[in-house]
Structure 1
Amino acid sequence: MTLSFFLAAAFYPSRNKKPLRYVFSLAFMCMIHSFGIIFAGGLCVVWLSEIISKYVKEKTFLKIFSDKHCWMMLGLLVLAIAIIIEIFPNSNTYTQGHENAEELFSFSFSYVQVMWYIMYLSEAFLIQMPDSKLDSYDVASIIPQFITAVFVFVIALSILHKNKKILTFIIPYSFFGLFSALIYSSPYHSGMVGVFLIFVFWGIFADNGKIELPEYINKAVSSLRGGLKKAVVAIAFLPMIVPIAWSAYSSYIDIRFDYWYKEAAEFIKEYRLYDYKILSSWTQDVISEENDSWRIDEVYACRDYPKLQGLATAILPYFDDNIFYNYNIDDHDKTFMYYQSSTEEEAEAIINKWGEQGPPDVVLDRCQLTRVYPDIDVNDYVAVKRITAYKPYKFKTNDQYITIYVTKDLFNKIGTLKEITAKKLY
């Protein structure tokens, strides 16, 4: 994505004289990522509006139908539509908080979406929003970030307006922001806003050779004296300094700790647990009146998604083959995860196939084992290892841990394992 934006920025100044290079860079952007289609579409809308505006002023509007730039954009539109058809989610595609495409594209508009739309810009350079807009959080707790975001948004728009690039920014950004706020996004997608903003300022430099500041900013800065003026200038450089600090912190965490669940793979190899039957945990959504899984410790009703096994997916790159008997049981040679939800009947059929394999010797992470084996004695399993995974994002580290369980027979057979205190399987 970064390369595609930089190519587009390099060819942007000559887009009207040599349009093919610019169109190819936008086509490349579309083929890289679904959000590339959104940004490229927004840039084409801006470009088309410039062309239409020119013909309207010249009172030769009909010439638009013979304009080669428009025909190239039409070809790009056909490509984008073909890609969208290819990548459009299936009816059973599972995404964050959505178990099918119908849920994904159904949304309700609220002031929270407006907040997220504005905050995406600052999220790329200055602030740290909640991990996901789906997380439960007190809106009041992000008011300071929102105030900062509004301030940055207004300043940015005024600078872009002064440099005649407000439409070049606001239309693609709005396409991205609205799609992200209303339908789908993850925290790392905000980095695309940062790269897109570089594209916009690159275009300003190409056109003007410099970035002009609004008169009110020049007056405000010139009225300052001494240390206060230096402080304001330092604050203006924060959007360039903060991302470097984020990268430094995340790099430190990546170097200091094992990547994700690497330690789990090493533990399995150390004790040759791959020679035994290993069951990996799967996604389960709790069904309760409170819908609060943290309050429920024992057996509870849940909705099963047996195809969703992120833990197994994270561990399998360290092995040549699929070591989990319940992972992709219908296509066991595949070691990637199908992001597919399952109906209750489909989940039941898959879980029954797991049950036919007999109870596991090893269980990765706490899961509802009695869902697969109703008559099993969960007290026959002991916890032998806890693995913590450190997932850095900006200045925050999301610590997650998993527990590895083995049967008492296997525990005694290996002889060198140590039992640890942990919640039992259920």
Structure 2
Amino acid sequence: LKIFSDKHCWMMLGLLVLAIAIIIEIFPNSNTYTQGHENADELSSFSFSYVQVMWYIMYLSEAFLIQMPDSKLDSYDVASIIPQFITAVFVFVIALSILHKNKKILTFIIPYSFFGLFSALIYSSPYHSGMVGVFLIFVFWGIFADNGKIELPEYINKAVSSLRGGLKKAVVAIAFLPMIVPIAWSAYSSYIDIRFDYWYKEAAEFIKEYRLYDYKILSPWEHIAVSNDTSKSTDPKVDESDYQWHDYPNIQGLATAILPYFDDNIFYNYNIDNHDKTFMYYQSSTEEETKTIFDKWREQGAPDVVIDRCEITKIYPNIDVDDYIAVKRVEVYKPYKFKTNDQYITIYVTKDLFNKIGTLKEITAKKLY
């Protein structure tokens, strides 16, 4: 086969061997937790449908041109992304035809399929799409290094040559969009980063300003609503009476995002068995393990400070939520392409601590729980 005479093929095979070795090394434990999968058994099991085919094709355009929704395709109205999918199919076909013309289609499609199928069937995050972009650039770079140019398929040359005037200029401009759009994404994200504090920076600054790290701070944990009827995860804002709740006390994303602004772990319930660690262990837990962790939290006593609303009465059944006062609402900005994930969190303190500090101001907010 001609492909094996290409030095880039052997380079990619070497990377594949390295990747397989890394996968073997980091293969998830039985209690691994990822978004949408609560253990390794769920992580390695999947169902195949047309939705996954759409996801696989759209990943290429996601790197350069379109903005897919944050959630998995099967969790919202698929019809709403038909325009993006049509664009993605067009880009996918054009890209493969160019690669085929330059005899690099297998160099691209084999690694891309490993990545795309894993993302579509098992796990993915918006942040991973940039890997596709970098890889495609690498492949085109290899073509240019070998041939000194990138040849276009005959049908593209004929189509472009048949155009005249403004229409031809418009088509050429559209062809440059995959290079222009990522620059615009970067410009917008840079503006948001400059204009607003990133993610939970303001929360960290508030904690430092009032030296709240000298007190017991409770961080919220992951709890997922599971329907009694369908056994599927749902929006946690549903009526509690209709759902069971599964707690994962090791999963504390908010604390993980705040701690880089501190030298030490300031949350007493974060990594309760390895308190010196300031990174999160992506570990699910059984009901018995969760109970054991909650018991350890309970031994520390009730918190003086609570970061955001959480089911505190699960840990302290006799606690009076009216004893906690909301003192800070932190607007959260997290840019991604042309979209900003706008959220807010609320910081609560006990009435005793509120009176002790003296300079805090009470704000209107929902009770802790």
What TM-score comes out, normalization by structure 2 length? 0.93
2:30 corresponds to: 91
2:177 corresponds to: 238
Mapped pair 1:202 → 2:152: no
Match of 1:281 among 214, 220, 239: 220
Q: In 2, are the aligned partners of 1:281 and 1:366 still within 8 Å (CA)?
A: yes
Q: CA deviation at 1:303?
A: 1.1
Partners of 1:248 and 1:157 in 2: CA distance: 29
SS at match of 1:295: coil
Q: How is 1:22-421 mapped onto 2 (pairs within 5 angstroms)?
A: 22=11, 40-41=15-16, 77=17, 79-133=18-72, 136-289=75-228, 291-296=234-239, 301-421=244-364
- Paired amino acid for 2:148: G
Q: Do the aligned partners of residues 81 and 170 (structure 1) sit closer, same or farther apart at CA in structure 2, a change above 3 Å counting?
A: closer
- Which deviations, in whole Å up to 9, do the C-alpha atoms of 1:173-206 show, x marking residues without a partner? 1121111111111111111111111111112112
Partners of 2:217 and 2:92 in 1: CA distance: 51
- Which deviations, in whole Å up to 9, do the C-alpha atoms of 1:303-332 show, x marking residues without a partner? 111111111111112222211111111111
SS at match of 1:195: helix
Aligned residue pairs total 361
What is the alpha-carbon root mean square deviation over aligned residues?
2.0
SS at match of 2:185: helix
Q: In 2, are the aligned partners of 1:299 and 1:368 still within 8 Å (CA)?
A: no
Q: Do the aligned partners of residues 14 and 315 (structure 1) sit closer, same or farther apart at CA in structure 2, a change above 3 Å counting?
A: same
Partners of 1:321 and 1:179 in 2: CA distance: 36
How much identity, in percent, do the aligned residues show? 85
SS at match of 1:287: strand
Partners of 2:155 and 2:141 in 1: CA distance: 23
SS at match of 1:405: strand
Q: CA deviation at 1:172?
A: 1.5
Structure 2: where are the runs of 5+ without partners?
Answer: none
- Which deviations, in whole Å up to 9, do the C-alpha atoms of 1:42-67 show, x marking residues without a partner? xxxxxxxxxxxxxxxxxxxxxxxxxx
Partners of 1:152 and 1:376 in 2: CA distance: 57
Q: CA deviation at 1:364?
A: 0.5
Partners of 1:134 and 1:116 in 2: CA distance: 7
Q: Do the aligned partners of residues 297 and 402 (structure 1) sit closer, same or farther apart at CA in structure 2, a change above 3 Å counting?
A: farther
Partners of 1:161 and 1:134 in 2: CA distance: 29
Partners of 2:315 and 2:122 in 1: CA distance: 34
More helix, by proportion: 1
Q: Do the aligned partners of residues 403 and 298 (structure 1) sit closer, same or farther apart at CA in structure 2, a change above 3 Å counting?
A: farther
- Paired amino acid for 2:177: L
Q: CA deviation at 1:381?
A: 0.7
Structure 1: where are the runs of 5+ without partners?
Answer: 1-11, 28-39, 42-76
Q: CA deviation at 1:336?
A: 1.1
SS at match of 2:328: strand
Q: CA deviation at 1:288?
A: 3.9
Partners of 1:15 and 1:108 in 2: CA distance: 34
What TM-score comes out, normalization by structure 1 length? 0.81
Q: CA deviation at 1:85?
A: 2.4
